[in-house]
Amino acid sequence: MENRVYNFAAGPSMLADDVLIRMKEELFNYKDTGMSVMEMSHRSKIYLKIFEETKDTLRRVMDIPEDYEILFMHGGATGQFAAIGLNILKGNKADYVITGNFSKKAAQEAAKYGEVHIAYDGKDNNYSHIPLQDELGLSPDARYVHICANNTIFGTEWKSFPDVKGKILIADMSSDILSKKVNVKDFGMIYAGAQKNMGIAGIAVVIIHKSLISEALADTPAVLSYELMQKNDSMYNTPATYPIYVLGKVLEWIEEIGGLEEMERRNRAKAAVLYDYLDSQAFYRPHAEKDSRSLMNVTFTTPDPELDVLFASEAAKQGLVNLKGHRLVGGLRASIYNAMPLAGAEKLVSFMRDFAKENDK
Ligand code: PMP
């Protein structure tokens, strides 16, 4: 693995070396078939084995009970913003908690298909805060409560999930799924775009309680219907075969290192390297409030937007790439998903120290 950089991109993002090595080994000739997984029919016996094993491994790694369906769908997490409206909201009312850009988009999309009540909106604190229970204005007649578990752009994350008073909880976990243990039973549905902790772009993974799957609104496109996807085991049409295979490789790697418990331990250690440094100095300013900090996306600014630009370009020269913050927040963002090794966070902090020394006037 020569000439590899530490890639702090928010997604698509780094893959673990062990995963890439296996993809490479199997690229030209998967298990003596004489072809790559990308060239196989999704109906072939060999591919169906990959498909089923990937689902089984996901069930094991996340401890997903049998009364939950696993669906691989098209359209990314954004497709799910609409699918939830079409399959679950269906003219009813739902509560949406707005903690960033993606939860806002989820609410806007769902509002096309029913009544969306905003139970909280963090715009006044520029989404630096995850609401406490008493800040949520939940409605008694909501069919479900929707949250975004980790806010990729702003760098905030729910530490514990809200008490939704017996309602169905739906979470967009695009940027923190597989980073730690979660109790799937606490959710009616969990969904994620795969291009961060689950591999590469091309699938949305949906983990949904079977009782929530029923006939979608009449005009629902077939590829967004949970009922059709369930009936056809996510093969109503050609699924994104290679991203599903990569997810399988990522899950194998997670199991080998010790599962989500070990993954979480590593992620906490990595994030602590960055946050401990940020808390020990005055040059950089972290964006997220302490209690709301994300383990996956660390957001901060230097004293001057021009220095932010210089920081990102100087860091890149040292093999620390994609540190520019999202255009909505500015500043800098280090995305330290599962695949980022501790050494990457340590090298970044070392660079930060040097940069602060040189530019603190
Ligand atoms: N939700 C979150 C938390 C995200 O980070 C993203 C993408 N970065 C999305 C939703 C949108 O995902 P997609 O691009 O797969 O539609």
Position 97 scores a pLDDT of 98
Q: Give the separation between CA 316 and CA 293, rounded to whole angstroms.
A: 25
CATH of 31-256, one of 3.30.565.10, 1.20.810.10, 3.40.640.10, 3.40.50.9100: 3.40.640.10
Q: Which residues pair with 93 in a beta bridge?
A: 115
* Closest listed residue to residue 204, CA positions, set 110, 58, 68, 75: 75
Is the peptide bond preceding residue 12 cis, with omega within 30 degrees of 0? yes
Distance from Cα 262 to the centre of ligand 1, integer Å: 25
Name residues of the chain where pLDDT drops below 70. Answer: none
CATH T-level assignment (fold) for domain 6-17+258-359: Aspartate Aminotransferase, domain 1 (3.90.1150)
* Closest listed residue to residue 127, CA positions, set 325, 328, 310: 328
Q: Give the separation between CA 208 and CA 194, rounded to whole angstroms.
A: 16
Q: Give the separation between CA 138 and CA 275, rounded to whole angstroms.
A: 32
Quick one: which atom of ligand 1 is closest to the CA of 195?
15
In this structure, the residue with its CA closest to atom 12 of ligand 1 is 77
pTM here is 0.98
Enumerate the domain spans of the chain.
6-17+258-359, 31-256
Angle formed by the axes of helices 241-257 and 259-279, to 10°?
80
Position 329 scores a pLDDT of 86
Position 328 scores a pLDDT of 84
Position 72 scores a pLDDT of 98
Distance from Cα 283 to the centre of ligand 1, integer Å: 31
Per-state percent for the chain, helix, strand, coil, to nearest 5: 40, 15, 40
Q: Which residues contact 141 (CB under 8 A, 6 or more apart)?
A: 93
Q: Which residues pair with 293 in a beta bridge?
A: 156
> Is the Cβ–Cβ distance between 82 and 52 less than 8 Å?
no
Distance from Cα 326 to the centre of ligand 1, integer Å: 13
Q: Can you give the length of the chain in residues? A: 361
